[in-house]
Each structure stands twice: as C-alpha cells, then as structure tokens.
Amino acid sequence: MAHTKARSEPIRDPAKLESIRNTLKENATPRDYLLFVLGVNTALRLRDLLSLRVCDVVDSRGRVRNVIPAAQPGKGSARAVLNASCRDALRYYLEAGGTANQDTLLFAAGKASRPLGRTQVWRLVNNWCRAAGLAEGHFGAHTLRKTWGYMALRHHSIPIGAIQAKFNHATPGVTRRYLGVEGEKVENVESRVNL
C-alpha cells in the first residue's frame, strides 16, 4: 500500500484564526507572532516568507514599508502589500527586540544566521492549530498561505480569479484544489439545485 503525504489545509474558522493570533501575541516570541501574521496576510510562498530580511520590510529611516517588493520579478516571487495587521505586527516585533540591522533575517532559526526550516515551520503551525482546538485536519507549512486564500474566497468574497492570480496558479481549478474547496463547491451546487 502506497503512503500518501497529507496536504496541509487552511484554517477555515475566523474565530480560531483570531484565537491563534491572540495567543501568539500574548505567549509566543515576537518572531513566531510575526511569522503567523505575515503568513496569513501576505500569501507569500514559504521560501519567500522565510527569506525576508529587515531591509525588505523597513526602509533605511526605520519606517515600516507598505509593500514588500518582489525578490525576482517574473520568476514567481510576488510582491506583497503589508496591510495594517502586518505593519502593526512588524512594529511589535521591532519594539520587542527585533533588530535595527537591515540585513538580519526576520525568521532566523534561534541565534543562527539561517532561516527557519520547512520542518520547523510545520511543527510551529501544527502546534498553534492544535492548541487552538483544531484537532481534526492536516496543518503545516502551507497552512498560512492557504488560509489567506480561503479567507479571501469564503469570508471576503474575493473572486477566485484574483486569488488564482495572487497565487500564480494556472487555472481557477488548481486554486480551488489548493484551498480544498472543490468538495464544498459541489455540495453547495447540489443543495441549491432543488427541483
């Protein structure tokens, strides 16, 4: 029997999302809080998120930027708008001991000069979700990005085409599968067509 790797899924409940955010701000390191907030608000790929440095989010005068520029325009690395939640989390991170060194990684692994690894992020996100009462489901490294897309689609009525463009997916179907909403769409259609 072949072993299949479980796909991570989004956080679907806005109340659980808020619970995780509040718990992290009160009990976690500023780095972990910032990772969560930027992850669910920017929809950056994990490699792009983990490669962020202070200079990517703060200008030379120490002001938090409004936009993270694309690392490699046209190569799949997208720019990201830093909304109010992101900017507040960045200020919190910097005031709580973040660095003024422009070249420092935001998400360094401990005192190391390397970023957190995918496994470390998987462990963190999985633990945050379990602590918030999400006992069922597979949560991990892609959960943060998928949560942005799911919330945009289901709770903010953003068209699937816009989410597809943000994710740089080939088709809306790819985006629906990525977010885990294919089954929901079919069930919704089945319940609405009542002849």
**100 assigned to some structural domain:** yes
**64 pairs with which residues across the strands?**
58
Report the domain count for the chain. 1
Domain of residue 53 covers 14-158
pLDDT (tens digit, 9 = 90+) per residue, 21-75?
Answer: 999 999 999 999 999 999 999 999 999 999 999 999 998 888 999 999 766 555 5
CATH number for the domain including 85?
1.10.443.10
31 close to 106: Cβ distance less than 8 angstroms: yes
CA 156/CA 25 separation, integer angstroms: 24
**119 assigned to some structural domain:** yes
**55 assigned to some structural domain:** yes
pLDDT (tens digit, 9 = 90+) per residue, 77-126?
Answer: 567 999 999 999 999 999 887 666 788 899 988 776 899 999 999 999 99
**183 assigned to some structural domain:** no
In 3D space, the residue among 37, 27, 31 whose CA is nearest the CA of residue 131 turns out to be 27
In 3D space, the residue among 190, 29, 55 whose CA is nearest the CA of residue 120 turns out to be 29
pTM: 0.87
**175 assigned to some structural domain:** no
Helices 160-167/172-179 angle, 10° precision: 80
Phi then psi dihedrals of residue 67, to 5 deg: -140, 140
